[in-house]
A and B are shown apart, each in its own frame.
Chain A
């Protein structure tokens, strides 16, 4: 005989849920400006890169922010209070933007052919099959830590001057965060962005060079 499962409402569960909701509420009260502005940034990047026109992104960003807060409270029971609330909320927002993008493309009744996708995305698809992020980071760290200056010089020669400077400061001089930003005369955020765009360019160039030398054989 099947045992009947008794569905009881545990007051402790209620208390826990209220606590989680209060934590989320505090996070929203504290961070709403930063969250809303980040949503606007994500939206701008998503629209630009999908080749869409930047219309009233502010209104859409506000709508997505409101939907994010609504969704966050609906699924508050899944929120782990030991985790950070802001990235959790932004993660919900990113998924909302993705859904909004899909709706937009459905409305436009147009599927973007692969050939029309941004070049960077095509390269990413090609590169990911050949060289992973760990591999290029591994090559960079290995050549800068070991006594292989030739390899490091070769790698640095593959990128343009401004990216070479960033890679040199990061991997030869070992600068990171604020010290890297100070050496470049930028903010920390710009320094991180430059460094990782430099790594991305190096990854592409490295793959291309290896491909050409294999074809030349």
Chain B
């Protein structure tokens, strides 16, 4: 068993204990305190994510369906600078593993779902089935199209998984096209700077 630090005995264990208790008691103040500790402890943060997923299943909460575009508009609204042209080497982390020139594949979406720990327990078997799938996403990402894709891929997935798959696919697709635009703009900007320098 992992030994706790001698200076702060059971500190992580105590934090987990308080977090579970706070969730059981709906105590937002304690939750906020533990989350503050988790900001400096990636392992605790990971455990908290696992606990949240367990509670979500227990409470039978359906993931909230939000169009990824709404999130992008929200960010645009509050942060103009984040959407300014960035240099090619400063690609957002979310797309670092995805080739900007290639279309997003089923494998990319499943990989992302696994990274954010969003695959429902009953659908875990799908990860190994599809993580390397080179099948490109359908052009239109309606829930009907995602269901059709599941049939074509011969996977037995829950409705929750299909919804999560769709949301993630939309996020990745929009993000990637935004990234492509940024890269193109950055290249364009670099080109014009080089031309200006030459003309001087």
**Residue positions of A touching B, CB distance < 8 A:** 18, 21-22, 24-26, 28-34, 36-38, 40-42, 44-50, 58, 61-62, 66, 69-70, 73, 80, 83-84, 86-88, 90-91, 94-95, 97-98, 101, 118, 120-121, 124, 133-134, 137-138, 141, 174-177, 186-190, 192-193, 196-197, 199-200
Contact check, B94 vs A37: say whether CB atoms are below 8 A apart.
Answer: no
Quick one: which of A18, A32, A34, A87 contacts B39, CB cutoff 8 A?
A87
B54 in contact with A187 (CB, 8 Å): yes
- In the complex, the answer to whether B18 meets A133 with C-beta atoms within 8 Å is yes
Interface string of B19-62 (1 = CB under 8 A from A): 11101111111011001101110100101111111111111010
The answer, yes or no, to whether B17 is at the interface (CB within 8 Å) is: yes
Q: How far is the CA of A34 from the CA of B116 in the complex (A)?
A: 8
B167 contacts A33, CB within 8 Å?
A: yes
Q: Are A26 and B93 in touch, CB under 8 angstroms? A: yes
- Give the residues in chain B near A25, CB-CB below 8 Å: 75, 79, 82
Residue of A nearest to B36 (CB): A91
- In whole angstroms, what is the CA distance A31 to B92 when docked? 13
Shortest 8 CB-CB contacts between residues of A and residues of B: A49-B26, A189-B54, A189-B50, A25-B82, A174-B1, A196-B20, A98-B28, A83-B39
A197 touches B24 (CB 8 A): yes
Assess the B35–A47 pair: CB atoms within 8 A.
Answer: no
Bound: A32/B14 CA distance, A: 28
Cβ of B130 under 8 Å from chain A: no
Q: Which of A28, A33, A124 contacts B116 (CB 8 A)?
A: A33
Q: How far is the CB of A18 from chain B (nearest CB, A)?
A: 5
Q: Of the candidates A21, A37, A73, which one forms a contact with B56 in the assembled complex, judged by CB atoms under 8 Å apart?
A: A37
Q: Is B74 an interface residue (CB 8 A)?
A: yes
Contacts A25-B75, A30-B93, A187-B121 given: A193-B54 contact, CB under 8 Å? Answer: yes
Q: Known interface pairs A26-B92, A199-B17. Does A189 touch B52 (Cβ–Cβ under 8 Å)?
A: yes
A137 with B50: CB separation less than 8 A: no
* Partner pick for A21 among B31, B40, B79, B118, CB 8 A cutoff: B79
**Residue of A at shortest CB range from B76?**
A25
Evaluate contact between B1 and A137: CB separation under 8 angstroms: no
Specify which chain A residues have a CB less than 8 angstroms from the CB of B40 in the assembled complex: 83-84
Residue in chain A with minimal CB distance to B62: A58
A22 and B82: CB pair below 8 A? yes
B139 at the interface (CB under 8 A from A): no
Is there contact, CB below 8 Å, between B74 and A189?
no
Contact pattern, B 55-71, Cβ under 8 Å of A = 1, otherwise 0? 11111010110101001
Minimum distance in angstroms from A42 CB to a CB of chain B:
7
Knowing A49-B26, A69-B74, A192-B20 are in contact, say whether A87-B61 is a contact too (CB < 8 A).
Answer: no
Given that A94-B32, A137-B13, A199-B17 are contacting pairs, would A36 and B64 also be in contact in the complex, using a CB cutoff of 8 Å? yes
Residues of A within 8 A of B47 (CB): 177, 188-189, 192
Contact B25 A121 (CB under 8 A): yes
Residues of B within 8 A of A95 (CB): 28, 32
Closest chain B residue to A25 by CB distance?
B82
Q: Is B78 an interface residue (CB 8 A)?
A: yes
B157-170 near A? 1/0 per residue, CB < 8 Å: 00000001001100
Q: Chain A: which residue is nearest B8 at the CB level?
A: A134
The answer on a CB contact under 8 Å between B56 and A41 is yes
